[in-house]
Structure 1
């Protein structure tokens, strides 16, 4: 069992509040976030951006291991994720995480690759965590 940690601190409230987020590894250390970084694109991060990074990384690693189980050893996977935050009632909901993959994987046919990629999308731990629609668009290069 593996446990990872992160923390957030928020000073002030509402639109004028300011937050900072940190991760156990130190990759994020007191990175600013708040209303303005989330809804107005000011410098800093936001939860949806962090979820997108986590989902892209998790899916790509899951696919890499799945392709290794297929006996493949050479290739490149490049994934981007687009997480959508929608208004829901008085609040908000992450409604979609759209993965876009460009893969260079010699030695696998398109049909088998699509099946392996779909399984990785469905079964990576972050996909299982999200209560959102998840799509996958992929492009296979040989």
Structure 2
């Protein structure tokens, strides 16, 4: 299975503007720029999209593992806070903090914590941060 998203950027970093689109169409030419990323202006940014992907993926992985343990969650709510920090001239994502609240009838606190930690390790987006990243670059002429 493959899913895709795309970004178009025009201009320099601070005055330039871009748009992000997803294959599903849930995002279509969604504007983003320096001001939406670094100055808290309305619009999206890569870090919140990573957070949304991680929260969604983790929640589904948790539901799967709870089901395998014979438990059915009534509600899983996950917040992912992505930390972007400047390190010298570069910026790095230095942490992702997941905050989970869930109602799972029949689960003990110990069992729930163990399964939640398994979900954190097994969620495909969690694994992404340990995966190699490939790049295919093409320079267009003219």
Same fold (TM over 0.5): yes
Q: How does 1:84-95 map to 2 (within 5 A)?
A: 84-95=83-94
Q: How many residues align?
A: 130
Structure 2 partner of 1:63 = 62
* Structure 2 portions without partners, runs of 5+: 131-142
The CA distance in 2 between the partners of 1:96 and 1:31, in whole Å, is 25
Deviations 1:28-78 (A, max 9, x none): 000011111000011110000000000000000000000000111242111
For 1:66-77, list aligned pairs within 5 A: 66-77=65-76
CA distance in structure 2 between the partners assigned to 1:123 and 1:5 by the alignment: 21
SS for the counterpart of 1:68 is: helix
Instruction: Give the SS at the match of 1:41.
Output: coil
Q: Which residue of 2 aligns with 1:40?
A: 39
The 2-side partners of 1:69 and 1:12 are apart by 50
Distance in 2, Cα, partners of 1:110 & 1:40: 40
Counterpart CA distance in 2 for 1:128 and 1:8 is 23
Tell me by how many angstroms 1:82 deviates: 0.3
* Separation in 1, partners of 2:71, 2:18: 44
Counterpart position of 1:135: none
- Residue 11 of structure 1: aligned partner: 10
Q: Structure 1 length as normaliser, TM-score? A: 0.89
Q: 1:91 to 1:125 in 2, by over 3 A?
A: same
Q: Secondary structure at the match of 1:56?
A: helix
Q: Match of 1:16, SS?
A: coil
Instruction: Note closer, same or farther for the CA distance 1:96–1:74 as it changes in structure 2 (3 Å cut).
Output: closer
CA RMSD of aligned residues (A): 0.9
Secondary structure of the 1:116 match is helix
The question of whether the paired residues in 1 share the 8 Å contact of 2:63 and 2:73 is answered with no
Bigger strand fraction:
1
* Cα separation, 1, equivalents of 2:73 and 2:41: 39
